[in-house]
Amino acid sequence: MRAKPSLTSRSTESLLRRRLLSDPNGLDYDDIEHSESELRSVRIGFSPIGRIVFVVYTRRVKYDKETIRIISARQATRKERVAYAG
């Protein structure tokens, strides 16, 4: 049995960041419960392959340049998809 492809493989991570974070209908909130040393944010939105995904990420600034680091990504649950649909 083959393993499922990762939503955050190196080849798709950059595209995921651009597409998901530019989704005008995406849902955002801060993940205070799991943010001990850095502010983590959650976003629910469309992936590059047209699925609704749940992504945890953090923004980092180094040498005056902001980067977004994806911590985890998975397909959204039914409840999350309903919330996204509004």
**What is the C-alpha to C-alpha distance for residues 85 and 27, in angstroms, rounded to an integer?**
10
Range(s) of the domain holding residue 44: 10-85
Tokens of 29: 């909130």
Contact partners, residue 51, CB within 8 Å, separation at least 6: 75, 76
- In-domain check, residue 4: no
Note whether residue 21 is domain-resident.
yes
CB atoms within 10 A of CB 34: 10
Kindly report the pTM of this predicted structure.
Answer: 0.74
pLDDT in tens, the chain (86 residues): 555 555 545 555 676 667 767 788 889 888 878 767 888 999 999 887 788 999 998 888 889 988 888 888 899 999 999 999 88
| Cβ–Cβ under 8 Å, residues 44 and 84 | yes
| Residue at 2 is within a domain | no
Please count the structural domains in the chain.
Answer: 1
